[in-house]
Amino acid sequence: MKIEIITTPNQELKETGFGSINACEGVLSAIRKMGHTVQLTVCKTMADLDNVIDRCPDLVVLAVKYIAIDNNGDIWLSEYFMRHKVNFTGSLRNILEFDSNKVLAKTILQNKGIVTAKYFTTVPGKYRSENELPIKFPLFLKPIDAANGNGIDDSSWVVNFSEFEAKVLSLYTLFSQPILVEEYLDGREFTVAIISKSNGEFIVAAIEIIPPESKNGLRILGHKVKNDNSEALKKIDNNQMLNKVKQLALNSFINLGIRDFARIDIKSNKNGECFFMEANLVPGLTPDSSYFPKSCEMEFGLSYDKVIQLMLDNALYRAQFFPTVSHLITPPIMAEQVSGF
């Protein structure tokens, strides 16, 4: 098949998708080994996108959700390629909103009976005293839509109203949007890579993330930790916890209507109760460091190339059998069809 990987210069984006050009080149190499004709295209303008359409690829691999075009706002790639009847990887435009808006994803899942951390949103000055806050301290504050730990650091954990006000003002000044405030969960942190295959089965790979200890004995997975790769990744050594984490992640994947693949973040409290935190629908794919391929490697021994092959399985199926209406076709979802290696 003729495949194009679509990305954009992402230094200014809050949400960087697969990652840098280095990550995209890793995906390119893996697809080339599968025997397809593939190229990497960096799109900056509408003309760049229109040129992709003129080349008539069988499939486009979307390494980012959107490209930012001066005076035209954000062009969402799934929407653009759907309009031009070109097959694309990943979820549909309306589902990708759950990646960009953490509150929306939490609301949808809560309404379907899936547990998430308690939360509210705020802006500077909305609450005048501790007594007005919907949730008691300690609290954890972060941007609604920023990825890669942006805006998260030691000061995200707040234990009094003055710290709360300071962090709200800092985040609002930086991101110009309401702030997500969650109950602080004092347990373990997990991430789960999920791949939906064309035969209806799921690959579900879960690992634990252990950030380095910082002030007050906290372990906060913020931007600096992720940027420095200073967190430890380990297999989940308790089968009961492993199954609990996987089931919650898979239920979240299904109930959000996600297509092809996603990384679901889960956190527990000290009692071992697990909560959905967020969905990453265009997960990082930097070889040797990104959580998605590392999860698959650590649990199932899958190579990076094999992970990419599996991630494309659904999309290649659509491109082969539904070349003009594939954006409307998704294999039936069956929650019990979870495969391992």
Rounded to two decimals, what is the model's pTM? 0.92
- The yes-or-no verdict on residue 332 having pLDDT over 50 is no
Q: Which two tokens stand for residue 255?
A: 């109930």
Contact 271, 218 (CB under 8 A): no
By DSSP bridging, strand 157-158 and strand 202-210 are unpaired
Contact 91, 282 (CB under 8 A): no
Q: Name residues whose C-beta falls within 8 Å of residue 295's C-beta, 6 or more positions apart in sequence.
A: 191, 192, 193, 205, 206, 207, 263
What pLDDT does 324 receive? 65
- Between the alpha carbon of residue 196 and those of residues 90, 302, 338, the distances in Å are 10, 16, 9
Superfamily in which the 189-339 domain is placed by CATH: ATP-grasp fold, B domain (3.30.470.20)
> What are the backbone dihedrals phi and psi of residue 96, each rounded to the nearest 5 degrees, phi first?
-60, -20
CA distance 280 to 99: 5
Give per-residue pLDDT as tens, 172-229: 999 999 999 999 999 999 999 999 999 999 999 999 999 999 877 888 887 788 887 8
> Side chain identity at 275, as an amino acid letter?
F
Q: Name residues whose C-beta falls within 8 Å of residue 44's C-beta, 6 or more positions apart in sequence.
A: 8, 9, 67, 69
Torsion angle defined by CA atoms of residues 119, 120, 125 and 126, in that order, rounded to the nearest 10 degrees: -140
Neighbours of 334 (CB within 10 A): 11
Give me the residues paired with residue 7 across strands: 42
Residue in the block written with tokens 């930012």: 68
Second CATH level (architecture) for the domain 2-90: 3-Layer(aba) Sandwich (3.40)
Neighbours of 222 (CB within 10 A): 20
Give per-residue pLDDT as tens, 92-137: 999 999 998 999 999 999 999 999 999 999 999 999 999 999 999 9
118-183 against 189-339: fold identical: no
Give per-residue pLDDT as tens, 82-94: 999 999 999 999 9
CA distance 303 to 294: 9
What pLDDT does 146 receive? 66
> What are the backbone dihedrals phi and psi of residue 124, each rounded to the nearest 5 degrees, phi first?
-55, 130
Give per-residue pLDDT as tens, 217-272: 888 887 788 887 889 999 999 999 999 999 999 999 999 999 999 999 999 999 99
Range 120-136 burial, b when 16+ CB lie within 10 A, else e: bebeeeebeeeeebeee
Between 3.40.50, 3.30.1490, 3.40.630, 3.30.1370, what CATH number should domain 118-183 receive? 3.30.1490
- What average pLDDT does range 304-308 have in this prediction? 98
Q: What is the largest CA-CA distance in the chain?
A: 62
The domain locations on the chain are 2-90, 118-183, 189-339
The pLDDT-based confidence of 336 (bands split at 50, 70, 90) is very low
Give per-residue pLDDT as tens, 278-301: 999 999 999 999 999 999 999 999
